[in-house]
Each structure stands twice: as C-alpha cells, then as structure tokens.
Structure 1
C-alpha cells in the first residue's frame, strides 16, 4: 500500500498482500516455464502427436516462420488437422485376440456363463477405450435378439442353443466373433413356478370353455382345495390425503380471496376518490356545510342503490356509515376521522385531515384546498387506469403465447409429416 511519509511516498505491504503478489509472480514463472517446454520451436525431428485410435481428429494451432517471402522471420498462424492414429495389421490382430475373452465376460450381464443363460445379455455397441465398433447378430432372434434381450418364457427345461456373432471394426480392420449360448427358462421361486403352471392350465381351460358364458375354475387342483379371491381395491387409501390436500388448498384459496377482495376494494376506493372530492367541491361551493355535503352525497347514493341504477361502492358505503354516526350524535371531527381510518388509504386520510382542520379553523380555505386535491385526485385516477391497462395487457401474454404455440404446431407438424 502507498503511504505518504514526510516529503516522499513509501510502499507498505501487509503480509497477506505480499503473499498474494508472490503467488502471482510464482504462477507467472511456472506458466512461462511450462509454456517454454510445451511450446517453442518444433525441431526437424519433432512433430504433432496424433490422438489414439477411435479418439478422433486433433487440430493444432501453430505458428510457422519462413512462409512469407518478404519477411522470412515473420510467423504465420496455421491450423493443422491431425487425424487419429490407425492400427497396423499386426496390432489389429493382437487387439482382436485380446478382446475375445473380455467380450465373453462383459456380455454375460447377470448370468454366470454363456452355457447357462437365464436373463438378458449386455451387448455393447463398442469399446471406446480401443476405438472398436461392434455390431451384433443372432441366428435365433426369437430366443435372443441382437440387442441382448432374452425371450425365455416358453423355453424348454433342458435349454435351447443360439449363436451370437459380433462383427468388430476398428479403422479398416474387421473381425467376427462367435459366441455359443444356451438359454434356459427364467429362474423362479416355487411359488412363481406353481403360479406359472396354474396359469398355463387356466389358458388351456379357457380354450376348452370358449362357448360358455363363464370360465369355470376348479375347486380342486392336484388334490388340493383352491379358494379364489378378488384383490382388494386399495386406491381409496388416497382419499384422506386428498382430503388434507383439498383442505390446505381451500385455506390458501380463502387467503387469496381475501387478498383479492382487499385489492379490489382498494382499487374501487381509489377510483371513487376523485368523484367524492369533486362532489364535495360542488356542494360546499353551493353553500352547504361539510356535514350537509356528506348527507346529500350519501342520500343520492342510497337512492341510486334502491332504484338499481348504481352498484355497491365501498367509498359511498363508508360515507353512509359516517352519516349514520353523525345522526346518532357523534361529533363531526370524530366521524370524519373514523371515515378516513375505515378507508385506510392515504388520499382519504388526507381528505379527512382537511375536513377536521376546517372544523377547527373554519371553512374559509376549505374549498380552495379541495379544488387542489381534486386536480391531484383526477391525475391519480388517470395513472391508476393506465396501470390497470398495462396489467391487463400482461395477463393476455399467456393466452397469446399458447395460441402462438398451437399455430406453430399446426404449421410444423404437417411439414414434418410430408417427409414420411
């Protein structure tokens, strides 16, 4: 760190800062040495190392000097692709010989040996570490297919033979392996074996009784009495969980409905605020008192509700409650204050503050204050309408995207089907 001492500047490092600087210098030196070893000049005896067989092509970015006839020492960047190394004939033969025992072990899967196959085989499509590609064939695909699936449901107890051929290819070298396998029936527990035998017998009885309305099951089977039962339907156990889930959803829905009602009420209060203030300005300007203006506005709203010309609005409902309070003897200051608190929004609290101040200081400046508030209220209403319009446009995005997705499917699917 730099710090001023007297007339000059001196450098002061903490221990941690010194370690960081030393580490940066050390890493730079290490990378410079490594770069010198790995890069630098490629001598006449050097070259570009190929990737191993099956690992693909490598592209080297090198700089070559001497290509520019005017400036011999100028280095020209060149990208040289180097193909993978290929096996020689002798190397390929040795590789195929080594892989035979490995393939014989890897294709077994869960089986113990090729002479006793009970389950599916693991037939790989290649050995990436050697770059060898494999293609499998079977002389009895109904018993063992080329994917290694074993179909031994109806195989004889003494087993059935099959031959698997693997065509191995690496570069231009090819070799064919043959594996002789014997497939046996799947290993079953005594219960599974008895059930399989009974199922076979039931199938034979079904063929015999095809003209009957019902398949008659035997009461005695190999000297033993049989009883038949339909399995119980346990799907109804899910009902209590569904009930709890629905109860949780109803609780969440109740909370969301409450929030939506509160949000809708708030929006209606904000929309009606400018109208309420403008009516107060008109009635107070006509010579009515604040109480008289409230009573006149509430009476007009109540008459409109009775005639069915108006819908219920929260702002006017609160004004009706305020008028009822005034008629019951509550003071105007208290009634107006409770009106603002019930509405719970800042514009109404401001309005009630103006009305309460007019009760204390006189209503000389009330009309002018209300006119200024009316201008602000209409501006606020305009901004609210603009905001709601933007929200409505955002809500339409999802159905529009869904319609776009449907249209794309209608266009793309026939185009794809035309290729078949």
Structure 2
C-alpha cells in the first residue's frame, strides 16, 4: 500500500511542479470564454507542455491526425489563424486531460489514506478499542483463512404408494438397514464418527417421513452437523432418535453415535490456537483501551494486517482511461462539427439560389443582393434568431467587398469556404458572368435552382435511409423482447 501511496503522490507533485514552471505562460483563447479558477491554471500548464514538448516533436508534426484536425479547423473558420487555432485546440485538450488525471490521483490518494486511517490496528500490532459510549465496532483480522465445508440441499421425489400395516412394518425394518448406511456419509461406522452425518427427511425408494432429535446438540445438531472442530475436543457419545412416520403409523429408532476428534492439519491447529489466544487476550483486557495480538505461535512469527476495502488503484485507472478517451474523442467531435456544417450548407443551398434568381430577375446586381442578404441576417441575429453557416460566409464576403477586395476574388473565396460542389458551380457561373458577361445568365441560374431542388430532395431521401438504418438495431431488440414475452408464457403453459 505504501508503494501505491508513493505513486499517487508522485502524479500530483509532478503536475504541481509543471504548474509552478508554467506560472508565466500565456493563456490561449477559448472561443470567447474567459477561463477562471482551476481551468485558467491548467490552461497555462497545458500551454507549457504543448510549446516545449509537443509542438517541436517531429512525430506530431508529421502525424495524419494533426493534418486532419488542421483541415477541419480551417473548414470551420477559414479566416482565422489556423496555426494559432490548432495550438489552442491541442492546449485545451491537454488541459482537460491534466485536470482529470490530477483530480483522479488526488481522489486515489485520499481513498488510500482513508482506508489506512480507519484501521483498528496500529503499527505496533495493537488493536485500538472505541472510546466509552461509542458502541461496538466490527473488523476483520487476517492471519490465515480456512473455511469449513458446507452441506448442500437435497430434493427428493417419492411416488405415492400405500402399504398395509404388515407391509409397512417389513418395509420399515428394511429401511432401517439402508438408513444405517445412508447416514454415515464419509464415516467408517457409527462408533467412529469424525465428519458430518446425513440425516435425511426421506429415503429414496421408501414412503416414510423422518425427523431427527439429538440428546446433545453441542456435539451433533439435528441436521447432522458434527461439532468436533475444536482441537481440544474429547470423545463423546450421543443418542440420535429417528422419528419415522407413514400415514397413521409411527416408529422410533435410536442410533448410538460415538463422536471422536477429527484429524486436524497443521494449519488448522495453528489457526485455532491463534483464535484462542486472541479471544482470551480480548476478554482479559476489556478494561483497557487496547490489546496486543499474538506475536508468534508454534514457533511461527506472525505479522498482522487489517483487511480493508481499498479502491484507490481503480479510481486512478478509471481517471486515466477517461482522460485518454476524452483526448481521442476530441478529434471525432471536431469532425462531426465539420460534417454538420457541410450538411447544413447543402440543405440551405436551394433556398439561397432561388432567392438569388428572384432578386437578379428584378434587376439587382449580385453585389447588392449579397449586401441585402447580409443586412437581413444581421437583423435576424439581433432579434435572437438562429445562426446560419451560409449567411455567416455571406456576411464575411460583404465585409471583404466593403474592404476593397475585388469582387471576383470575393466570389472565389466564398466558394472555397463553403467547400461543396454545389457552391463551386454557382461561384463559377457568377465569376464567368463578371469576367465576360453572359446573356443566358438568368436561364443558367434558373436551371441551377431547379437542379439544386432535385439534389436537395435526393439528399433528404439519403438522410432518411441513414436514419432508418440506425433504427434497425433498436427495432431488432424490440422484436426479440416481444418474442420473449410471447414465447415464455406459451412455454410455461405446457
């Protein structure tokens, strides 16, 4: 246990040292949230670890996972500093892992310390009693463990049969001979009984009910348990009476049993001597607040410890597993966010193209239309509306136009940020119209709008099929439950 406590102390001490070394470290951005308390402290430590050990690691720089995370972050926000967002992303993940491992090691240390503190045994091998008025306390002291054999239960089925008085008497005499052998079990005979007897309530093949009575239950119980476990046990004689009944007939038969001391192993003898010494010492020192446990028996030196429920190693392992799981799952969550953004952009595309065709048909330029969409979106957000990935990108494009970026470049950048084939087609049409002019522009846009509507319907069907596939497993489980509910009563009715 001391080794475990050292391990539990090393982890928080090591993390504490990192906390001290990272005191002047810069806190990374956390997407508008201002970190406080323990989160702020561990973000500094995570930043220290990342910048000194991870960021310069060649394996990390060349890893496929790092490239995938970088691409996903760039898809979510193409205007941001991707390298900075990548660093902040990994720093935040490392900080979460540090918090979990640090708290897990502290809990493990507290659990280990608590199990040691609540012990009833001090370092000198003395048992500490509870103070006056605080009640009894139960504990378990372990030197060796030896349990007695437990008898099983017997289920006997007897066919219904009626016998005459004469037949019953003859059958009774016959049963007595069988019963005399049946009750012996592993014993040689009734004059040398060392182990438990079998005292059945019925004997197979006979219709009699049997009940038993012992004249000395301190030696043999009415269930056949032989009490010769004490190494100081002396030979004793016991009279077992079997009361045998069948319908209105009743007989009694006495069995004279001689119980002799059973054969003890050296381990059993030592265990009983230890138990006797502990009991005797405990009874003689009840006016004192503590007593000594036996230091040796039969020339064997004894070392004592108290059995405790100690779960500290399990807590530490669970905290490490949880930290590793969260670290790995972070990239998966990022990928899901990117996929969700892509889906929403595809679903919004038909409505966007239809509105674009409508306003261009009224004579508005693409630049003016985008500005109108941006103003409407700002008002929508101000009123508490839901944010849209598409209109966030349109808002960025309007800001670029107002900053003096050429319109052609703005359209091309918009297509790259949206990142799907549909938007690439639309941007190509707008760019060609801006470069060369196109008298058939409206016809092409209307065709693109119709095509987008068809693609959206196809995409919606695909999503429905995916949802149906995901529901397949729960439906199979429900079918199995229904089959069990129907079949079990039908089976039990036969």
TM-score, length basis structure 1: 0.50
User: Bigger radius of gyration, 1 or 2?
Assistant: 1
Greater percentage in helix? 2
Greater percentage in strand? 1
